[in-house]
Structure 1
Amino acid sequence: MSPCPCCASPTPSKPSCARRCSGPFPSRQPRPRQLAALGLSPAQMMAWNPRLVVVSVSDFGQSGPYADYAGSDLVHQAMSGIMSVTGEPDGAPVKCGVPVADFTAGLYGAMSICAQLRAVAQTGKGVHIDVPMMGTSLAIAALQTSEYFGVGKDPVKLGSAHPRNAPYQAFKAKDDYLVMAAGTQALWETVCQILKSPELLKDERFTSTALRAKNQIALKELIEVILQKDTAANWIAQFSQAGVPCCPINQYSAVLNDPQTLAMGWVQPMVMANGQQTKTVINPIKFNGTTAPIERRPPRLGEHNSEIVE
């Protein structure tokens, strides 16, 4: 690595040097050794300002044998085990359709920042927060890890089904699919009433949640025979009215125009940097009944460079 052009030091001697340095910045998020070489390790930055909350969102964490390895959302879905339980039982490996590992790490990081800012206000001492994407991806799999610790076997792919609840998956009706989540005995009894199938309640294979989960392949086949008699929309209406969690499997064109989406104001107009009108999904969280508005458009490339550097 070439010396810092600002101070001729082997590494930038202060944050402003690092900002102006024309040296080789990595294209992805810097790894621990790269940050240290730039003079921007958490310890170095906290030496400049002991009240800093320094957050390192990295692939594998700041220590351990993989600390300087490269990763991505796909890598962490695979590495953490998520892909091993995603998809159909006999299907090829698939990842989640949304970048769950990326977003999970961001959410863990944001929650940690909020917690530590209050601690800094009380103690005056900063903190370094280490957010490893592999670790946060593993942490959200409590259902699967507890299964492994409990029985000593790897969880398996179940498609849309649940390892411990049934009926709790996607079902094919006359014209389309729907999902139904009847994970309690009371909901199961309601489902049987709507299906007009009291014999299912007496079937010894389905008399408890554990037994229904164990025999859910047979249960799905029996339920789908009945669901074939009517449309998905009609079944959804009946189940929903009776309090059984049930819904269609939406395309994004459907959910973005869904009455609930529109009523909650989750889709808002936005102007792009080039003046083009578009729409976006905003932060869905409300504070005292109010959602944070869009206050500024996305910037053009480099638009804010000068104000950040200065």
Structure 2
Amino acid sequence: GVSAPFLILNRNKRGLALDLKHPMGRDILLQLVKSADVITENYRRGTLEKFGLGYDVLAKTNPGLIYCAVSGYGRDGPLGDKGGFDLIAQGFAGLMSITGEPGRAPVKTGNPVADINAGILAVGGILAAYVHKLKTGQGQIVDTSLMEAALQQTYWQAAIYFATGQSPGPTGSAHVLTAPYQAFRARDGWINIGGANQANWERIVEVLGHPEWRDDPRFATNSARMQNLDALLALMDAVLVARDKAEWLAAFDAAGVPAGPVHSIGEALTHPQTLARGMVVDLVHPEAGATRALGSPLHFSATPTRVDRPAPLLGEHTREVLRESGYTDAEVDAFAAERVVEIASERAI
């Protein structure tokens, strides 16, 4: 069958299948680069250079090209030649030492945060480089890595380390610097409560029916609450477990306290707010049939986003893309006969 992650990650894209190890494949890529603004790759350092397709070669073909490289550890430094995966980056960056519950084995985040953030960083870098290109015509290398994408996520913990020299450990769902700010068990499940400032804390004690906690010296300030966190959580747990999630969330909403449910993935993807924002889209794939994918989390007033193309088959748009680059159908047929390109639309659709 068709890979479900592939369907999610590649919706709205066209697919060109090209053998870069073949000399003709290399020549085709150089032809495509002539009219390209950006090329992205996530090989180890030096891999494309082995194919004769490094930045220096591509920049001669197109001086305005933006070349974005996403690697395990970056293009320089003592680990610049090493490959990497999200799991490895999370461990290297210390994320696994701060994730999960205290006293348990190291845990990675449930989602591939280094992979995802590296992509976001790449987009930001590409856009900045593109602005520079618009002003000067000059292209450049944009270089980021899974390691840096993971390290960037250690904001609060890095601040603590730089200030104290101490490496913080895991705190479960709790915030490392403020309280109460974590998941709590209600009678029928879990909710999150965000008491991220003093005003919210004072509203929380009213909702919980214990205004006297506001003046308790153990909880009067955020610093005091952090120092007496176990005592605070024991008191809150005893109250919160007595009522259902919906009751508590309605009460916190009425009081203006940020709070919300702890959803399963299915609950999140079927919630009316998720659907209202277009975050689930229906598509029809030529092999997988009717599928659903995530929509765009960005919304523009003048140029609305659309997700209307399913993930491509291998080489589904090869002929289309090569035509746009100036190749004739006869040339594309010759490439296909030599297995330099794959043309899925003529094989499988």
The normalised TM-score by structure 2 is 0.80
Equivalent-residue separation in structure 1 for 2:185 and 2:288 (angstroms): 44
Q: Which one of the candidate residues 261, 264, 267 is aligned to 1:254?
A: 267
Distance 1:93 1:291, change over 3 A: farther
What is the match of residue 132 of structure 2? 119
Distance 1:262 1:152, change over 3 A: same
What is the match of residue 302 of structure 1? 315
Cα distance, 1:6 vs. partner?
A: 3.1
What is the match of residue 82 of structure 1? 95
1:177 maps to a residue whose letter is W
* 2:166 corresponds to 1:149: no
Give the superposed CA RMSD.
2.3
- The secondary structure found in structure 2 opposite 1:172 is strand
- The secondary structure found in structure 2 opposite 1:206 is coil
| Further displaced range: 299-308 or 166-175 | 299-308
1:88 maps to a residue whose letter is E
8 Å Cα contact 1:51-1:125 kept in structure 2: yes
Equivalent-residue separation in structure 2 for 1:122 and 1:289 (angstroms): 24
* 2:245 corresponds to 1:245: no
8 Å Cα contact 2:278-2:296 kept in structure 1: no
Report the number of matched residues: 297
Distance 1:297 1:13, change over 3 A: closer
Identity %: 36
1:286 maps to a residue whose letter is H
Cα distance, 1:13 vs. partner?
A: 7.5
- Residues 90-146 of structure 1 show CA distances to partners (whole Å, capped at 9, x for unaligned) of 111111111110110000000111111111011111111111110121112111111
What is the match of residue 248 of structure 2? 235
Distance 1:273 1:298, change over 3 A: farther
Equivalent-residue separation in structure 2 for 1:14 and 1:279 (angstroms): 34
Cα distance, 1:60 vs. partner?
A: 0.6
Equivalent-residue separation in structure 1 for 2:107 and 2:78 (angstroms): 27
- Residues 155-214 of structure 1 show CA distances to partners (whole Å, capped at 9, x for unaligned) of 110000011110100111222111101111111010111111122112211111122122
Distance 1:6 1:264, change over 3 A: closer
Higher relative contact order (CA 8 A, sep 6+): 2
What is the match of residue 281 of structure 2? 268
What is the match of residue 25 of structure 1? none
* 2:125 corresponds to 1:108: no
Equivalent-residue separation in structure 2 for 1:268 and 1:15 (angstroms): 32
Unpaired segments of 5 or more residues in structure 2?
1-20, 34-40, 328-349
Equivalent-residue separation in structure 1 for 2:209 and 2:310 (angstroms): 54
Alignment of 1:36-55 (within 5 A): 36-55=49-68
- Residues 197-232 of structure 1 show CA distances to partners (whole Å, capped at 9, x for unaligned) of 122112211111122122222111110111122112
- The secondary structure found in structure 1 opposite 2:129 is helix
What is the match of residue 221 of structure 1? 234
- Residues 284-303 of structure 1 show CA distances to partners (whole Å, capped at 9, x for unaligned) of 21101774122322211221
- The secondary structure found in structure 2 opposite 1:286 is coil
